Amino acid sequence: MTAEAVIRRGGGVPVVVLDPYSLVENGVLSLDVKSAAGMTGKEILKDLASNLNVICKKYPDDTGRPATAMVCFALEFNTHNEVNPSGNDAIDSPQKQAFRRVFREAYTILHQYGGDNVQVIWAGNEAGTKADREHYWPGNDDHMNPLGQDSVDWVGMTAYAGPYGINTLDQMQGGFYDYYARDRDHPFIFVETSADTYAVNPADQDATKAAHVTYLYNTSTLSPYPNIKGIIWFNVAKGEGGFTKNFLLPTAVD
């Protein structure tokens, strides 16, 4: 479904996931590198933001405010070798420094050509503490000094219920949520969520998904976390590791 179709159907908010991981020069990410389509990363971002801005302006609300589109730039950045070749979140590196610079560049371009109609999401995978993601935070310079601007609109993560995931929101409290969302006044979004028990017991999958829906899409659960503004269920079945993982919403939830 196109971004325009999402907006047109009941005023939805499209989320475009843009991966820059093929744009590598001298071992680090660079928006000056050309993609397979022959455009640099900067040109791709300019084109995307300009088109989204035109679409958003076509569908104003009752007050005349244009629609909103969101761009999740470099989803799950900490899991990619181009950003985190050591697999160690706790140390800085030239790759992480380049990622922070590239994210700031992307944020600037997206807002330059998309205005406030385009909102930029910064989201790795599951994280509990501030330290888990501080080396990826675009609000830090090459020496990990805080800058005057965070260069993000929304913060978030992908998170899957199960033995290796975030099962309760208090696993983020006092750490990731408090610092990146609450204290810095950024809305928070789960860019992907479902349940994953295949590595332990595939038979538990449906029950875990149902419990996760009941827990997460719940006013009582969310009320202590007012900055959580978005939850996207990863509603697909996909092949992985030689079998099919079914992340689809359960057909019935009590």
Q: What is the pLDDT of residues 193-228, one digit of tens each?
A: 998 876 657 777 788 889 999 999 999 999 999 999
Domains contained in the chain, CATH given: 3-246 (3.20.20.80)
**Cβ-proximal residues to 70 (8 Å cutoff; 6+ apart), any chain:** 13, 14, 15, 16, 118, 119, 120, 121, 154
| Residue 252, pLDDT score | 54
Tens-digit pLDDT profile for residues 132-167: 999 999 999 999 999 999 999 999 999 998 877 778
Residue 228 is predicted with a pLDDT of: 97
CB-based burial label for 124 (10 Å; 0-12, 13-18, 19+): buried
Q: Which residues of the chain have pLDDT under 50?
A: 254
Q: Full-prediction pTM beyond 0.75?
A: yes
